[in-house]
Amino acid sequence: MLPWERIINGVLLIPPEKIVVPFIFEESKDFSEGYAAVKKDGKWGFINTRNDMVIPFYYSDARFFKEGYAAVAKMGNGDLLI
């Protein structure tokens, strides 16, 4: 964290008190084609650029979108879905 940043109620704030990133995900990956893989409660799903959940938290791993598809691993059985 940089010296001028601070965390209030789980939200990173940078002067002049602008909310930058709400800490609601354990981990996230870069956006590609308007979607980003995000992790919550140990499962991966996808959000869009408006932070709307578009694919629910269901997968054990998820990768980026390319040409409309993303590689994901299904919970429990090790299958790779594309």
For the chain, domain boundaries = 6-81
C-beta of residue 2 within 8 angstroms of C-beta of residue 12: no
Q: Identify the DSSP state of 24.
A: -
Q: What is the residue whose two structure tokens read 């930058």? A: 20
Alpha-carbon Rg for the chain, nearest whole angstrom, is: 15
What is the tens place of the pLDDT at every residue in 21-32? 567 888 888 889
Q: For domain 6-81, which architecture applies?
A: Beta Barrel (2.40)
Q: What is the pLDDT along the chain (82 residues), one digit of tens a residue?
A: 555 456 667 666 566 555 455 678 888 888 899 999 999 999 999 998 888 999 999 999 999 899 999 988 886 665 555 5
pTM, rounded to two decimals = 0.67
Residue 46 confidence (pLDDT): 94
Residue 62 CB neighbour total at 10 angstroms:
24
Cis ω on the peptide bond leading into residue 3 (within 30° of 0)? no
